[in-house]
């Protein structure tokens, strides 16, 4: 599955509810998931880490969707040979 396909899956399943919630509240959910990922990273439970990475990515897709951002397009700069990863 590509990034674009996953983002579309999230859009189809959750977009109406996500747009109603709005960016500020959705961002708080995203940050909560980042916190759970931080906790998981401090431990040794690989299954939990996998779950939390998935949750963070799903919420990132939700934020991108309600802000009309194509994540696959947004990350293209990292595929350029000359990209150093910083400006």
**For residue 17, is it within any domain?**
no
Q: Residue range 43-72: average pLDDT? A: 98
Q: How many domains does the chain have?
A: 1
**For residue 45, is it within any domain?**
yes
**For residue 85, is it within any domain?**
no
**For residue 66, is it within any domain?**
yes
Rounded Cα distance, 45 and 72, in Å: 29
**Domain residue limits at 36:** 3-7+24-79
**For residue 86, is it within any domain?**
no
User: How do residues 4-39 score in pLDDT, each as one tens digit?
Assistant: 999 999 999 999 999 999 999 999 999 999 999 999
pTM exceeds 0.85, yes or no: yes
**For residue 60, is it within any domain?**
yes
Give the CA-trace dihedral at 71, 18, 21, 74, to 10 degrees. 0
Sequence-distant (≥ 6) Cβ neighbours of residue 72 within 8 angstroms? 2, 3, 4, 7
pLDDT at residue 80, rounded to an integer: 77
Specify the CATH number for the domain of residue 64. Answer: 1.10.287.1080
């Amino acid at each position: 599955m590509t990034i674009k396909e996953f983002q579309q899956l999230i859009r189809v399943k959750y977009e109406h509810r996500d747009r109603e919630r709005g960016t500020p509240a959705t961002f708080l959910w995203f940050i909560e998931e980042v916190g759970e990922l931080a906790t998981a990273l401090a431990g040794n439970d690989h299954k939990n880490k996998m779950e939390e990475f998935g949750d963070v990515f799903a919420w990132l897709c939700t934020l991108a969707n309600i802000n009309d951002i194509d994540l696959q397009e947004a990350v293209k700069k990292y595929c350029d040979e000359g990209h150093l990863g910083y400006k």
